[in-house]
Amino acid sequence: MSCVNLIIKAGEKLPSLDSVSGDYEDWMAEILGWDQDDYRSVAIYLGEKLPPLDEVKSIIITGAGAMMTDPSPWIAESAEWLARAAESHHPILGICFGHQLLAHALGGIVGNNPRGLEVGSVPIHLTGEASEDSLFKNMPSQFIANVSHMQSVIKLPDGARLLAYSKREPVHAFSYGADVWGIQFHPEFNAEIVKHFIRYFDEQLKQEGRDMSTLLADTDDTPE
């Protein structure tokens, strides 16, 4: 049986993004240059079951509107499957919610970000460990990325390496072993997409004393 690249779809886009074609899995496939025949998508938040690991080549976990602290059975089931996938050295990349789910699966702790909501285009800083990491070593020490999240990895799994951080987010990327990465930022979000998230969080931004118009003006596409 042939193995497939698996995109684990953990949620769906904002309703306001109906004017933008595709969804999380489509945006990821696009930046990876994958055609529809190159991957399979499983919507775990809808109860779709993950395949046996011997049918999987690589794994990407998307973002979601769900919170890791929600007592959802699909979160627990997915975490157990991901822990086994990491043990069997499957290449895994978790993005935003997927990053948090992956950290949780490996023994880390996820909770509300004590620094509040992070949304928009923000500077990401790499740590010294990133210079030795196969995924990050050729990237600049600082770059702009698009973000939208209220929860964070509060404690990394034992043995994980911190690779990136920002002003509001202490854990923007980590690696675990040679095959597993989590990134809090969204490489698949362009400026148009992240603007929808900024507008979505307008009321919370006001409560935190932050200006939505400034965040909108500062948005940018993710660098290649």
Is residue 72 a part of any domain in this protein? yes
Ramachandran angles phi, psi of 37, nearest 5°: -75, -10
Tokens encoding 19: 């004017």
> Which H or E element spans position 28?
helix 24-32
Q: Which amino acid is at 69?
A: T
**Best CA proximity match to 22, nearest among 216, 197, 190:** 190
Residue 96 bears catalytic tag: yes
Q: Do the beta carbons of residue 59 and residue 6 sit within 8 Å?
A: yes
pLDDT at 2: 66
pLDDT at 14: 93
Q: Which residues of the chain have pLDDT under 50?
A: none
Q: Which domain holds residue 165?
A: 4-114+150-191
Task: Give the CATH number of the domain where residue 27 resides.
Answer: 3.40.50.880
> In sequence order, what are the beta bridge partners of 175?
161, 181
pLDDT in tens, 149-188: 999 999 999 999 999 999 999 999 999 999 999 999 999 9
Is residue 204 a part of any domain in this protein? no
pLDDT at 1: 52
Active-site pick, 96, 104, 118, 169: 96
Is residue 73 a part of any domain in this protein? yes
Is residue 196 a part of any domain in this protein? no
Is residue 76 a part of any domain in this protein? yes
- pTM equals 0.95
Question: How many Cβ atoms from other residues are within 10 Å of residue 5's Cβ?
Answer: 17
pLDDT at 71: 83
Active-site pick, 99, 104, 186, 196: 186
Is residue 55 a part of any domain in this protein? yes
Three-state secondary-structure class, residue 155: strand
Is residue 38 a part of any domain in this protein? yes
Based on the structure, what is the number of domains in the chain? 1
Is residue 162 a part of any domain in this protein? yes
Active-site pick, 25, 118, 169, 188: 188
Residue 188 bears catalytic tag: yes
pLDDT in tens, 173-182: 999 999 999 9
